[in-house]
Amino acid sequence: MDRIFERFAVSLGGLDRIPVDDRPAYAVRAYRDCSHRAWLCTWLVMAINLPLFLAVDFRTWVAGAWDEQPAHAMIFWWRLGVTLILAGGLAMRRAAVPDALCHPRFAWFCVLFYPVCGVWFAVSCQSLVTDVSVYVLLIVGVASAPLPSPLKLLVYPGSWLLLAVGLQFTGDNDTQIYHLLINAGVAAVGAAMLDAFASRAHAASFVQSRLLERERQRSESVLGNILPPSVAQRLKDDPSAVVEYHPAVSILFADFVGFGTLSETLQPDEMVGLLDHLFLEFDEAADRFGVEKIKTTGDSYMAACGVPQAVADHARRIADLALRIQSVARRFRSDRGLPVHFRIGLHTGPAIAGVIGRRKFSYDLWGDTVNLSHHLQAYGEADRIHISMAMQQALAAEYRYEARPPMSLKGRAPMQTYFLLGFRRDVDGVAFTADADGSAGRYDLR
């Protein structure tokens, strides 16, 4: 029987529309909203009672007519009792600091107290006011504040039964009591229907807000995968072009050597799956070293460090990523027997970063630093990391290098370049080790 009532009440209040995983969040929101409405109503009742004290009770007492109107004394004690209890409820709400305790307790306090307050008035003041208008007003107010519990529907028949018992023991006019109970019963049924309607509307509003929130999170997730978080936030705040000048940036270009030939021997899904696995590991390594992935173009991978936030050790981080890419390629060759070879170029210097496009926008970098890094990759060798003199000087003595003969890159004047070989070992032959966050230390990936 309890299960039948619970299912009926849940369906009637619209709680069945809310996914099970979202019901705890809905309960928090419903208790918060109900507590806030009850808080406003409580202050309203107390604000109304104070003028009544002054306008009615105090003037009656001053005029010396207090004993001549005993019914007014009952109303006075009712108003005084309600005011003191509500003041206690407000104090309880303020004392319960955590919202998880404050809102449910105060909400249930008001939902239970206001119908009892209406019954109290109807029973104690029936010699003066022979109707249940206060009771009706209070249960309608309770119905407008939905709670995430089907037990709230028991408040209406429960308060009506309490009213019936009170009138039966205190009243002496059976016909009047009968009419009062009929009116109160109709009001209780109407309040229960209003409660169900308000609960369904509240639940529907919550479901809609959750759907909108999930869509917003999905959109922000997609935007975060396209743009760096700080750039994405700037773009949302100001849709105009985002352009930044960075005086010190390190750029990496990595190209899959022989991918065109390899793709002819693979099925399309195998080819795409291979690139996906490779670039996924590159992305994870970039995140670990604090490097920003810029884009992939076909079988090429581009990353940068020092954008959009400047970092002092951008050259070291990008070098660590390059060595990690070499390690991943070696593992793919040994584990899968595939000719996975990457030609990598590194350079450091100033660059301009920004967002271009308005429909399929992208975050990109421009400048001579980017061009030279790409040229270093193009003039490099498979399984080698080709770096400029500026990069070699920025990395200093922590790495090992192999000098190359001066060469001209894309019509430039001959320049000195190097191959980055790996990390330098200390005098005892112990390799540098990496810290957990990748922010310091080294991997020995040879």
CA distance 268 to 253: 25
Is residue 49 within 8 Å of 78, Cβ to Cβ?
no
The per-residue pLDDT of the chain, averaged, comes to 79
Band the pLDDT of 443: cuts 50, 70, 90.
very low
CA distance 358 to 36: 43
More confident residue, 115 or 102: 115
The answer, yes or no, to whether residue 317 has pLDDT greater than 80, is yes
Q: What is the pLDDT of residue 427?
A: 32
Is residue 415 within 8 Å of 406, Cβ to Cβ?
yes
Is residue 233 within 8 Å of 239, Cβ to Cβ?
no
Q: What is the pLDDT of residue 409?
A: 85
Q: Of 5-19, 209-223, 401-415, where does mean pLDDT reach its minimum?
A: 5-19
Torsions phi, psi of 354, nearest 5? Answer: -175, 175
> Taking phi first (over 0 means left), then psi (-120 to 50 degrees means alpha), and beta for anything else, what does residue 165 get?
alpha
Q: What is the pLDDT of residue 97?
A: 54
Return the amino acid letter for 279: F
Q: Of 51-60, 130-139, 294-303, where does mean pLDDT reach its minimum?
A: 51-60
The answer, yes or no, to whether residue 406 has pLDDT greater than 60, is yes
Q: What is the pLDDT of residue 433?
A: 39
Select from 180, 184, 144 the least CA-distant residue to 40: 144
The answer, yes or no, to whether residue 326 has pLDDT greater than 70, is yes
Is residue 155 within 8 Å of 187, Cβ to Cβ?
no
Is residue 343 within 8 Å of 380, Cβ to Cβ?
yes
Torsions phi, psi of 249, nearest 5? Answer: -135, 145
The answer, yes or no, to whether residue 261 has pLDDT greater than 50, is yes
Other Cβ atoms less than 10 A from the Cβ of 104: the count is 21
The residues facing 418 across adjacent strands are: 387, 403
Write out the H or E segment, with its range, that includes residue 207: helix 174-226
Tell me the pTM: 0.56
CA distance 142 to 358: 51
Structure tokens that stand for 320 in this block: 């660590």
The answer, yes or no, to whether residue 19 has pLDDT greater than 90, is no
| Start-end of H helices in 227-313 | 229-237, 259-263, 268-289
Write out the H or E segment, with its range, that includes residue 351: strand 341-356
Report cis status (omega within 30 of 0) of the bond before 308: yes
The answer, yes or no, to whether residue 79 has pLDDT greater than 80, is no
Band the pLDDT of 270: cuts 50, 70, 90.
confident
Select from 404, 440, 446 the least CA-distant residue to 424: 446
